[in-house]
Chain A
Amino acid sequence: GQQVMQIPQYQHVQEGEDFTTYCNSSTTLSNIQWYKQRPGGHPVFLIQLVKSGEVKKQKRLTFQFGEAKKNSSLHITATQTTDVGTYFCARLTGTASKLTFGTGTRLQVTL
């Protein structure tokens, strides 16, 4: 299937530092979703982006969809220990709402 690549695979930051994960596709995406998965937990839906150049914010989280709709990013400002987990991007395909996930970025935050 069409791959959605995520970088970096892992990032370790100190509390208060910023964090960004990137999602890249070789083909144009009709939409991109972001999920957070806490260690030992299940994925939790964060947001969906559908428009070229779209920017959405949720408190300290900023989500962007590229102008060409081939990439997306999630930026966390001033990380907290509660941000620890793996962040996945995913694209929704077809009429059956099937998700194709990226490989994820694991975020570790230390004091």
Chain B
Amino acid sequence: NAGVTQTPKFQVLKTGQSMTLQCAQDMNHNSMYWYRQDPGMGLRLIYYSASEGTTDKGEVPNGYNVSRLNKREFSLRLESAAPSQTSVYFCASPDRKGVTQYFGPGTRLTVL
């Protein structure tokens, strides 16, 4: 039981390049989330998926797209990366009561 897994762990992109961050959970949870964390700041919600087949914007969705591929997987895509998207990205999934959020290990992204 791995919980929440994310790939890759690290990535360096050039401005304008695209990439997809992958997230998977094996806890059979319905909801999944993408957050970003910038230095000195708390985490901010980018997009979320309350259930398979649904996605919604969070606080900072501009420049991102998401896909809820199935109940296990939720991916985050940067179509044209910008330096402002340099951040640590965390995927999370709450338990069935919606209380305890389980976070993945994070993807550290640098855009040059």
Contacts and interface: CB of A to CB of B under 8 A. Distances in A.
A104 interface: yes
Interface in B78-99: 90, 92, 94, 98-99
Nearest to A6: B42
Interface string A29-52: 000010000000111110010000
Interface residues of B, number: 26
Interface of B: 31, 33, 35, 40-45, 48, 50, 56, 58-59, 90, 92, 94, 98-106
19 contacts: A6-B42, A42-B105, A42-B106, A43-B90, A43-B101, A45-B101, A48-B99, A88-B43, A96-B31, A96-B50, A98-B48, A98-B58, A99-B43, A99-B45, A100-B45, A100-B59, A101-B42, A101-B43, A103-B42
